[in-house]
Amino acid sequence: MNKLRYGFIGAGGIAGTHMQELAKRDDVELVAMADVSEDAMGKIRERYEVQHEFSDYRKMLREVSLDAVSVCTPNRFHMRHTIDALKAGCDVLCEKPIAMNAREGARMVATASELGRKLAIGFQYRYNPRTTFLKRAAEEGQLGRIVYGRVQALRRRGIPNWGVFGHKELQGGGPLIDIGVHALEMAHYVMGSPTPVSAVGDIFSYLGNERSDRVESVWKGWDWKHHTVEDLAVGRIRFEDGAVLTLEAGWAAHIEKNIWTFELMGEEGGATWDPPRIFRDEAGHMVDKSPAWLPDSRSDGMFKRKMFNFVEHCLHDEPLLARGEDGLAVQRMLDAIYRSAERGGKEVKI
Ligand SMILES: NC(=O)c1ccc[n+]([C@@H]2O[C@H](COP(=O)([O-])OP(=O)(O)OC[C@H]3O[C@@H](n4cnc5c(N)ncnc54)[C@H](O)[C@@H]3O)[C@@H](O)[C@H]2O)c1
């Protein structure tokens, strides 16, 4: 059997999730991992057999022959690590967001294309059964022309207390680039990936840099001293086809409970992701439709589908659902919201 020789740059939390799925396959070999933290590799070692370990990813790329690499490092390093892996002859699955900004993302997409290599982005939500249900309904024309989308990724209090998620210089931003990216990518995908033309946005900071030991939180003890990103971001994006989308993303929103959903309004129907529902006129009545059963997205897995799709794309050229280009399109919208926020909420072109 032709086995995919697999490597990892970054061996932290999400790398472990990649390994958990890849370890289920006979046609994937966990060949090597590289991380600057011995501690991180130690934790992986307890759960998975990875043949080689490196403290320098460049040494790994030089010394081991790999077919595919997952880039699972902080956002600041996505571009460098992806381009180096592509140049070493590997196909790459880079975690979300594609990079710190669209300029970097465009270099990654261009490099993959010039070298004839594959580049995937870690957008597991487009593999979620709710998303595939709504995508299919939209493709069948059940919503008609989609004119408006409302996208929400809001945690009441959920600032990550691991990694470097609050460091703007390492992550590029806060909840907008970290979780807004997920909700936005799935909504944009279901909408048929329209071309964005302009955006307005605002960001607000009021809690993350407070002493985290004095504030109640689901994840206690985040690194408040180095917290330089927003707590809440809101934006509105206009598309070439006239559709408009609003996005809200927050780690510390003063709301009743977390919200993770999007809602679409089309000329012939509407839809919500949570709960998964379609609203239409049928048989002369207003009708609400919901699937009688959907697989559980965690156990049956969006993560599994994301990893398996990448492996099958590498080994058998199966069409890839989350391409570098998709990551870049989403990044352009995120950048525009941040850019508009810097300009006091003025509309900016994309
Ligand atoms: N798809 C998802 O649902 C999802 C979930 C979590 C994180 N992520 C993304 O994955 C990335 C990593 O997040 P995480 O939660 O795994 O963070 P993490 O902090 O748990 O892991 C990051 C690892 O990268 C290592 N690292 C840092 N600089 C390095 C370098 N120069 N070379 C090699 N290793 C280096 C760190 O030591 C750490 O072990 C981020 O881009 C994040 O946005 C995606």
pLDDT single digits (tens) 3-22: 999 999 999 999 999 999 99
Does the pLDDT at position 63 exceed 90? yes
Report the nearest atom of ligand 1 relative to the CA of 41.
39
Report the nearest atom of ligand 1 relative to the CA of 16.
16
pLDDT at 79: 98
* CATH architecture of the domain with residue range 126-300+330-349: 2-Layer Sandwich (3.30)
Does the pLDDT at position 47 exceed 70? yes
- d(CA 60, ligand 1 centre) in Å: 17
Report the nearest atom of ligand 1 relative to the CA of 122.
1
Answer whether 206 contacts ligand 1 (Cβ < 6 A).
no
Burial label for 64, CB within 10 Å (0-12, 13-18, 19+), is middle
pLDDT at 189: 98
Residue 166 and residue 104: Cα distance in Å, rounded?
20
**Average confidence (pLDDT) over 333-345:** 98
- d(CA 52, ligand 1 centre) in Å: 19
Does the pLDDT at position 300 exceed 70? no
Report the range of poorest mean pLDDT among 135-144, 271-280, 296-305. 296-305
Answer whether 10 contacts ligand 1 (Cβ < 6 A).
yes
pLDDT at 202: 98
Does the pLDDT at position 285 exceed 60? yes
Answer whether 77 contacts ligand 1 (Cβ < 6 A).
yes
Shortest-distance Cα residue to atom 4 of ligand 1: 14
**Average confidence (pLDDT) over 309-318:** 97
**Average confidence (pLDDT) over 210-223:** 85
Bridging pattern class, strands 269-272 and 259-266: antiparallel
At 344, list the tokens. Answer: 């006091």
To the nearest whole number, what is the mean pLDDT of the chain? 96
CA distances from 304 to 132, 184, 265, 275, 307 (A): 15, 21, 30, 22, 5
Does the pLDDT at position 295 exceed 60? yes
Answer whether 55 contacts ligand 1 (Cβ < 6 A).
no
* Residues shown for the chain: 350
Q: What is the DSSP letter of 319?
A: P
Answer whether 248 contacts ligand 1 (Cβ < 6 A).
no
**Average confidence (pLDDT) over 246-250:** 98
At 261, list the tokens. Answer: 């959903």
Which of 155 and 217 is assigned the larger pLDDT?
155
Answer whether 40 contacts ligand 1 (Cβ < 6 A).
yes
At 235, list the tokens. Answer: 């934006």
Report the range of poorest mean pLDDT among 16-30, 38-52, 155-169, 205-219. 205-219
pTM of the model: 0.96
Residue 179 and residue 350: Cα distance in Å, rounded?
21
Candidates 41, 72, 98: which one to mutate for ligand 1, based on the most atoms within 8 Å of Cβ? 72
Residue 280 and residue 288: Cα distance in Å, rounded?
7
Rounded percentage of the chain residues whose pLDDT exceeds 90? 93
Report domain extents, the chain. 4-125+301-322, 126-300+330-349
Report the range of poorest mean pLDDT among 69-73, 100-104, 212-216, 248-252. 212-216
CATH code for the structural domain at 4-125+301-322? 3.40.50.720
Answer whether 11 contacts ligand 1 (Cβ < 6 A).
yes
Burial label for 320, CB within 10 Å (0-12, 13-18, 19+), is buried
CA distances from 175 to 182, 234, 261, 270, 341 (A): 10, 10, 15, 27, 14
pLDDT at 1: 59
Exposure b/e, 286-318, CB count within 10 A at least 16 = b: eeeeeeeeeeebeeebbbbbbbbbbbbbbbeee
- d(CA 164, ligand 1 centre) in Å: 8
At 270, list the tokens. Answer: 């509407």
Candidates 57, 73, 219: which one to mutate for ligand 1, based on the most atoms within 8 Å of Cβ? 73
